[in-house]
Structure 1
Amino acid sequence: MTKRLKAAAVAATLGFFALGAVPSTAKADEPYWQCVTFARMFSGINIFGDAWTWWRQATANFRTGKAPETGSVLVFRPEGRMSRGHVAVVSDILTDRVVRVTHANWGGSRGKVEENVTVVDVSPANDWSQVKVWYNPI
């Protein structure tokens, strides 16, 4: 029940706390979300800076680990076009190797929030060091 209430509260406040530029294709009244701004607000974890720095910053102040938990932040290291990394909030645990995340500014959903996106651990050691993120168009 508290998870639903928290989600409802976040949904109700999304329009009030959006930061960032609005691209010319967006409607003026739609917020443009960056992943770090959204993850900070949605998770309550007060870390600032590029997404790739969150893991290092978290080790000094938060509990970290190699097994995602609901409400935790999944940190992606920089790679390819994702030069600043990415962060996503774990919204549900489906199995020990499959979770759902809620995140912003991913793939073709620039500036938008995507809810309950499937992420699969494909690492040989089952340590979440390599993942595949569901992206609807492909």
Structure 2
Amino acid sequence: MGWGLVHLRPDDSLEMINYGAISTSPRLPMPQRLQQIYRQLTGLLETAFPSEIAIEELFFNKNTTTVIAVSQARGVALLAAADHNIDVFEYTPLQVKQALVGYGRAQKDQVQEMVRILLNLDQIPKPDDAADALAIAICHIRSRRFMSRLEAQNG
């Protein structure tokens, strides 16, 4: 499970604070793997103090085993956010691609390159899950900024 912390500066530029990925051993039973994810997420929330959390909405694909495992890990992330009273915002892969590349059917490498450019990084963040998490964070910041400006116009 990737994670990324991005800050919107007063000048509307983006600053990457940190990123990474939580991984567990596939040899562990699922309850212990979920527990490890929860503990690591909790530690991250208690040290980083994010004001909001953005997470990718799931879409059903043909691999039901993967969907179930991802759904369980996603549920742990939602629980950790709720335990810390942090609002959660969800975005589809299409929304993330649209927000970063301007095209909802963009390729993964295009999105990753935009993450690198928008965060002024020397290279694309690795692993891919971390780059995806940063993309979701950027999508969220852009969406929130857009909605704030829209609300201000409509008074």
Asked if these proteins are the same fold (TM beyond 0.5), I'd say no
State the TM bucket, normalised to the shorter chain.
under 0.3
Q: Based on CA coordinates, which of the two structures has the bigger radius of gyration? A: 2
Higher relative contact order (CA 8 A, sep 6+): 2
Instruction: Report which of the two has the higher share of strand.
Output: 1
TM-score (ref. length: structure 1) = 0.25
